[in-house]
Structure 1
Amino acid sequence: MLNIIEALRSPSVAERFPTFRKFEIGDVLFASFSCPSSGQWEANWAEHDRIVHVLSGRKSLRAVGGTWEVGPGDTIFLKKGACFLRQRGADDICLFMFFIPDGFVRAAVREIAPDLPVLPPPADHRDMLIHINDDAGVKAFLQAMTVFFSNPGTPPELLLKLKLKELIASIVVSASNSTLSGYLRSVASTNVPSIPAIMEANCCHNLPIEAFAKLSGRSLSSFKREFRQHYGISPGKWLLERRLECSAHLLTTTSISVTEIVFECGFEQPSHFSRAFKAKFGQTPSEYREACAAAA
């Protein structure tokens, strides 16, 4: 699966997207680009949260929590992890993307925390996508980034950091973006993401164990050790069990094909899926579906 941060940082990205612009400050990445429509669902993942602003074109996005449609003028927040994207129509889509590491969010929120009113605990918002209402603070940030991307030079790092910190502060105190405010405050309240939350949100995506370690903000060895302490088994075994459970659920509750279920549940090959499914349930996926339908 494509790591979109690595792809946007690649030296060859400008060859694929002639209008591509980017600014980098350590792990923080600001990008502006247009891409043509393929008409296919395309999977990607990122180890950092991202804000996406659509300038033109339309996309469908599928991830934990549902499917969403975004179009010109929409601004969304995508949590770290994997998702599927598909462009709608033949037109190119033009985007701003801002990748924000947890460390930057923590520093920005904790800096203003003494001046914040006492707020209720953030809600447990499990959807991967949060719509952002373009209030005055969000509009000011987008206007500034439009100017920066339109000019040939690179803005000073201090100015880019300041604009992003202002955006985070604006969202945290915004009454119109309370869901995202709660999420950002929850990020600031911990030093590393929750392993169970990361695993549940991304278990049905075909990601390597190294990607799960990155998403959880840990080294591979620390991730494996803490995972086993929490679940009592290895990440690989847990992922296989969860993906098989997910596939069994889809077989009995939907009419989508077995091939589609392979894709939906994070398996690489249909043959591997069929072998693993039969080893767990004693039947092939098709036999299992037929038996459950007959028993209903």
Structure 2
Amino acid sequence: MLQPGSFAFRPFEAQPYMTLDSLGWSTDAEAGYGNDCRIRSDKGHAVFQYTLSGEGRVDSDGQTWEVPAGYGFIVRVPSEQRYYYPPEGTEPWAFVWLNICGEDALRMCDRIVEKHGPVVRLSAESQPIAIFWEMYQAVSVDRLSDPIELSAHLYKWALSLLRSDANYAAKESGIHPAIRQAKRFMRDHFAQSLTLEDIAASCGVSRSYLCRLFQKENDSPLAYLQRRRVEAAVTMLRKTDASIQSIGIRCGFDSPSYFGKTFRHYLQLTPGEFRRRTAEHPYDTVYLD
């Protein structure tokens, strides 16, 4: 069972990648707790802190942000930022944190703040928080201290926060069953001439309702189907000697011109160019999501 604690890492030499300075889990921050990024000694660092219960405050760019449970923030050191337990607080502030350093750390944290702002809402089931707990267990229970392995965790964490929807793990678990079934149906039957009615019927909903469900994911059923067809075409172009026209037909495209137009839309190459330019594009599979 995981227990609150704090862990610091002091490698013998600086590393040319994002590294972990410290991480921890605190349950009892109250009156007097705070950090002023103007005077902290760990210059060139970035700090991520996520509230489990209670509430904190962050002053950033002349604005004060509340940081209740389910919210996290990122600050740089040094900067004109500070975070603290509010004077009016009534419950201890429980939180987890990462203190990271290196040029990559600052660069990636700046990109995260550009995308989400200094304070970001994250469900407890979100991928960034799940990765934090994986790292915390590796450090506190398994005693992981290898800087390269720790950095691999950090890059995974930072990239998960760079997604447009940092809560994507929670979102994924809540995908509507009709969307799951529709996607499965299109993956299995992409070679057939499918209509919206066919796809909707496969999951027992109307075409209009299915389109509304996909719109919530900023997608459409036919766009999803197109991507699966192009992916299949890429593999056939690489692994078979079949003609481009026959590959288009076998992947569900009604005409060679439509096949070429759609393929170029996604890969910026015609099917023939992709097949010829093996040295520049040596892969047999391309994922378009």
Structure ranking higher in helix proportion: 1
Q: What TM-score, normalized to structure 2?
A: 0.40
TM-score, normalised relative to structure 1: 0.40
Bigger CA radius of gyration: 2
